[in-house]
Every structure is written in structure tokens, then in C-alpha cells.
Amino acid sequence: MDRRFVVDSNELTAHLVHPLQAPARRPAVVIVHGFPSEPGGGINSTGTIPALVEQIVLETGFTALGYASRGVGDSQGDFSLDGWRRDLSGAIDYLESEVDCDGIWLVGFGTGGALAVVVASRDQRVRGVASLAAPADFEDWARNPRKLLLWAREVGVVRDPNFPSKFDRWAAELRALRAVKAAEFLGNRSLLVLHGSDDETVPVFDARVIADAHPSADLRIIAGASHHLRHDPRAVAVLLGWLERQRSSLKTVSAADS
């Protein structure tokens, strides 16, 4: 992570890569990581995000940005769900300040996939979302927020022993952000919903209800795949193909306008 940007006074680390011989205006994508599965990040660690960023750039021609949300890796701050939502909005702002974007797309994994849908529903700059292994809502967390806070401390995304200063407000955020509701407001913007049939963390039912909430979602269930689709070559291949189609749609629109 070789870049920095600031959201809510927290300096967040990021990795931004441009394609070689890129046009002045270019499509761009933001990669949103999931919640750490164990202390140090485990298989969901942002340490694998730069490699995905570079693969996307190489194979699709998008400019790509990956970043670490507050409390993750070397990024400052402590985890809150709405804080992570604001971090994603800040990442979009940062990308726009660095790149003359010909459209912005979001790709999110797990928690990041749900937040990508929520943020896109409120931000017309986003042309499409790929949501991988995302929960339809955060009711499981909301039913026992103190357990979540203990786990967040265990995995290191809450570091300040006095955080949160207002626990009830922190906990209320868990019910306020719902990908299944946000998907209704994407309109005709593209939505790819990818899920593993054997996901042990988020039921495949969540993917189906998110897709059903959108008028024309592309739902793909990867047979035998688990929750960690970032590391499943079939899921990555589907994602890259979707991004290629998004880029091709820009060319079609440009040709029609000329």
C-alpha cells in the first residue's frame, strides 16, 4: 500500500495502479475488502488486494484502487460499519482527484460487497457494482453487537480501548445498512452478484435476495466454492469478464454518441 488519503481525520493506506498507455479518460474501479477472519487479517487480509489490483489493470485496462479501511492494516482509526461506508465514499473521492474517470465501478468482498451496494445506491458516480460473498444485511451482527465488538478487538480492527464512545450508536449502524434494500435503488446500473454454493459464512440465500431486489442483476453461484472468492480462480475469472463487458459498454456508448 503506497498511497494515503484521509477520511474523518484517519489516514488510510491505498494502492493505485494505472494501465500502460492509458487514455486521458479511463474507466476506474475501487476494490473493497471484507472483514478480517482472524487476527492479522487471515485469508481476507488486505495484503492480497494489491495483487488483485494489478491483475485487474493488466487484464482489463481499468485503473484500479485498493485500500485498507479504518482499523485495518496500517490505516488509522477503529472499525465501525458506517465508518467503513464513509471510507469507501472517501476512496471514490480520492480516485476522482487522481484520475480523469470515464466511469467508476466498485468490487467488494464480504462486508465490502454489501457496503459497495449501499454506497453505489447513494452515489450516481458509480456505474456498476460486483458484490462477492456479501451478506444481504448485518442482522447476525446486530443481534449481538457486544460479541462483534469483542471480535473486532481480537482481530485488531478496534484498537482504542475506549472506542466506541457511544456504543448504542455504533451498534445501531449494524441495522441501518442493508445491501438488499440498497440494491433496489441501483436502477439500471449493472450489478454482478457472485457467491459460493458452499459458503460457510454467508448463506447463498443472501446472494439470491440481493439479486432479486435489482431489476436485472447478473447472479452467479460458483459450485463448491467457499466464502473466500478472492482466492477462487473461477470467481476471479467471472469478475474479470464482467469488468471487460463494462469497459466494452463504454466504447459502445461512445461510438453511438459520435
As a whole number of angstroms, the distance between CA 221 and CA 208 comes to 9
Task: Break the chain into its structural domains and give their ranges.
Answer: 3-257
What is the assigned CATH class of domain 3-257?
alpha beta
Averaged pLDDT score across all residues of the chain: 93
Query: What is the mean pLDDT of the segment spanning 11-28?
Result: 90
Q: Is the dihedral of CA 119, 122, 124, 130 positive or negative?
A: positive
Q: Are 156 and 40 in contact (CB under 8 A)?
A: yes
pLDDT digits 0-9 by tens, 243-258? 999 998 886 554 444 4
What integer is the mean pLDDT of 121-130? 97
Model confidence over 189-230: pLDDT tens digits?
999 999 999 999 999 999 999 999 999 999 999 999 999 999
**Which residues 6+ apart lie within 8 Å of 177 measured at CB?**
81, 82, 85, 114, 115, 118, 137, 138
Does 241 have pLDDT greater than 70?
A: yes
Report the predicted TM-score, pTM, of the whole model to 2 decimal places. 0.94
